[in-house]
Amino acid sequence: MKRRDFFRKATVGAVGASLVPVVGNAANHNQGVVDRENDRWYQVAKGKMGTPDRQETIDCDVLVLGGGMAGISAAVSAARNGANTVLVQDRPVLGGNASSEMRVTVNQGSHKERESGIVEEILIENWVYNPQDSYNVWDHVLYGYVTREKNLRLMLNTQAISAEMDGDKIKTAICWGITNETEYKINAKQFIDCSGDGLLAATAGAEYRTGRESRNEFGEDHAPEQADGWTMGDCIMMVTKDMGKPVPFKAPHYAIPFDYEAAFKDKHRRIKQVKEGYWWVEVGDDFDIIANRENIRHKLMAYFYGVWDYIKNSGDHPEADNIALDWVGSIPGRRESRRFMGDILLNQVDLANNKTFDDAVAFGGWSFDEHNPGGIEDLSQPASYFHKGVKELYQIPYGALYSKNIQNLSFSGRNISVTHMALSSTRIIGTCSTMGQATGTAAAMCVKKGINPCELRKKHIKELQEQLLRDDAFIPRRPALDKSDLAKKADAIMGSSTISGDAKNLVDGMSRDRADKIHHWEADGLNAELQLEWKKPVSISKVELKGETVVSRKMMMHKNPEKYTKQGQINAVPPELIKTATVEARIKGKWVEVAKIEDNITRLMKTSFEQVKTTAVRIKLNETWGYKNAKLYEVRCYS
């Protein structure tokens, strides 16, 4: 990084503003981000001539920036909770690091159990529409998932480049349509920056940090003694194919020869497969990784082809003789840049000690996986300092997911309020998705109540947690206590037969088994019945169930198909999940079908029907996707 250049820029304005690319006059929005004065549109057929006026103003409740897994989770949650939502994504596809452009695995935060909620819905849906595990089809699975959502407008190829402020609130996001030369002014009540680098948040003046905190600042024993500017680096990956016969490889001119002797002294750097790339082909930066991105991209390509040249042409890897590159990333996946400051700055000690937060809304569980600051450019250090220390699923507080100084701005993903060391754990995509579901749901609540995240945290955090739990998010050690759930008030709850667990578990507020207690009911066989009885009639219009998807079993898509077998995955709808069910209400002694669940592929099964007054509800669990027994974790009833 040219440190002097950075400081020269920084002297002419705020730090955030100095980093705004593309336009210098973004703040003076009336003139537009592009000067059209000399643009003369001429159409030959009608001889029409004019100056294009491509501007659009959009009003919405919630604007989500960044269409990675965190952004998708935030946008869908906000929309489902009633907010008129816009999702802006600066790439042609959704998925961010997980998209076909970068192909980072949608890892779960803990090997022991997956996230539920939005990210799980997507992973299951992927196996329905994309059983061939094509990354390009995956992009479109995400596209379908987002675009079918009511209340949600998706804007691809659109980048938010600056914020217009009203005091300490963002009023408008100025966005640029890359493919349609259109300037958008998007007015919103709540903004959620899930873009990773957080350009909009930075231009709004939201406080942030970069680099590594010192060990003493938060008592993080994995942190360096002295604070420095290093961030974890970027990577590119590959996918190969077996050609069935030897294929030559000629390295491009820019390839950097791989110093394998030095590299292999580190025990992390190894060539153990030739299918999906090497995460240690990584390049970071010690000051401004954003400014250096294009250099890093070039370097990554150069290093990558150097490694592949070694594999193909050194003679050390005959297993690669028939292997050819089928895809190599052109856009590096990113681990770290800005970390925006919230009311809580989550650190290594919080995660390692499994701190309990009253405002917990999301969770993680990955180890402190801190990478060598220099990546492949510093072969004297291990590729990763893979610190143990996360023993259990840890809570992520809402206070770490919104800006401490910009009132209506939240974050999800790798740019939340964490120390560098905490980020080495929270950056996992599954974890980021749980944050997105939390901030999206919270933003919708803020809009309804006419408040901002800080006030929501202070006055309504339990309501937010209850909504998240109802929507199948999981918050460790936080059972659901929803008082409006009539199932909890039932005078009797019975399963037709039980092979494991107890029907009463379905209203105990915990929607997955824990190490010390099971929370499910499993019937002996299919066509099982679950019945709830109330002494006095109740009015019900919604019955919601949570089924079995085996959160201990992995469900992600891989670049290397061998992993499906090795990890015992099932690349289909989980066989244990309920496929077909009916909901009946007893009205004047007769059972009347009020709702039907067909071809269900989600853990959370919601039914909605015209309100009935009844003393009993019976749920018939007719069919699964292959498993012999019907199994549930929760039943809820609402008026």
Residues that bind other proteins (CB under 8 A): 104-105, 107-108, 110-112, 235, 237, 267-270, 272-273, 276-277, 279-280, 333, 365-367, 369, 371, 384, 386, 388, 390-391, 427-429, 491-492, 494, 496-499, 524-525, 531, 533, 535-537, 552-554, 556, 558-560, 563, 565-568, 586, 588-589, 615
Local structure of residue 163 (DSSP, 8 states):
E
Q: Residue 143 or residue 591: which is nearer to other proteins going by CB? A: 591
CB of 447 to other proteins, least distance (A): 33
Q: Nearest Cα to 143, choosing from 92, 79, 215?
A: 92
Q: Residue 187 or residue 571: which is nearer to other proteins going by CB? A: 571
CB of 429 to other proteins, least distance (A): 7
Q: Residue 470 or residue 631: which is nearer to other proteins going by CB? A: 631
CB of 494 to other proteins, least distance (A): 5
CB of 104 to other proteins, least distance (A): 5
Instruction: Please give the C-alpha separations between residue 346 and each of 186, 454, 579, 623, in angstroms, as whole numbers.
Output: 31, 16, 40, 44
Q: Is 253 helix (H, G, I), strand (E, B) or coil?
A: coil
20: left (phi over 0), alpha (psi -120 to 50) or beta: beta
Beta-sheet strands, E only, within 203-350: 208-209, 231-235, 238-242, 282-285, 323-328, 339-340
Q: Residue 32 or residue 365: which is nearer to other proteins going by CB? A: 365
d(CA 622, CA 635): 16
Q: Residue 183 or residue 350: which is nearer to other proteins going by CB? A: 350
d(CA 10, CA 398): 31
CB of 382 to other proteins, least distance (A): 9
* Residue appearing with tokens 């002694």: 589
d(CA 382, CA 265): 9
Beta-sheet strands, E only, within 168-285: 169-177, 182-187, 190-193, 208-209, 231-235, 238-242, 282-285
Q: Residue 409 or residue 422: which is nearer to other proteins going by CB? A: 422
94: left (phi over 0), alpha (psi -120 to 50) or beta: beta
Q: Is 462 helix (H, G, I), strand (E, B) or coil?
A: helix
CB of 231 to other proteins, least distance (A): 15
Helix (H) or strand (E) holding 349: helix 348-352
CB of 345 to other proteins, least distance (A): 22
Q: Which residues of 471-487 are buried (b: 16+ CB within 10 A; e: fewer)?
A: bbbbbbebebebeebbb
CB of 118 to other proteins, least distance (A): 19
Contact 347, 418 (CB under 8 A): yes
Angle ∠(369,469,475) on CA atoms, nearest 5: 30
Q: Residue 388 or residue 483: which is nearer to other proteins going by CB? A: 388
d(CA 546, CA 139): 27
Q: Nearest Cα to 271, choosing from 324, 234, 308?
A: 308
Helix (H) or strand (E) holding 126: helix 118-129
Contact 350, 417 (CB under 8 A): no
Q: Residue 80 or residue 558: which is nearer to other proteins going by CB? A: 558
Q: Residue 391 or residue 448: which is nearer to other proteins going by CB? A: 391
CB of 140 to other proteins, least distance (A): 21
CA atoms within 13 A on the CB side of 271: 19
d(CA 93, CA 91): 5
Return the structure tokens found at 156. Answer: 């691809």
Q: Residue 190 or residue 433: which is nearer to other proteins going by CB? A: 433
* Residue appearing with tokens 């938060």: 218
Q: Residue 80 or residue 103: which is nearer to other proteins going by CB? A: 103
CB of 570 to other proteins, least distance (A): 12
Q: Residue 147 or residue 500: which is nearer to other proteins going by CB? A: 500
CB of 297 to other proteins, least distance (A): 16
CB of 592 to other proteins, least distance (A): 13
Q: Residue 173 or residue 396: which is nearer to other proteins going by CB? A: 396
Provide the residue type at 614 as one letter.
T
CB of 177 to other proteins, least distance (A): 31
CA atoms within 13 A on the CB side of 538: 23
* Residue appearing with tokens 């996360």: 390
d(CA 556, CA 576): 17
Angle ∠(441,473,209) on CA atoms, nearest 5: 65
CB of 423 to other proteins, least distance (A): 11
Q: Residue 102 or residue 468: which is nearer to other proteins going by CB? A: 102
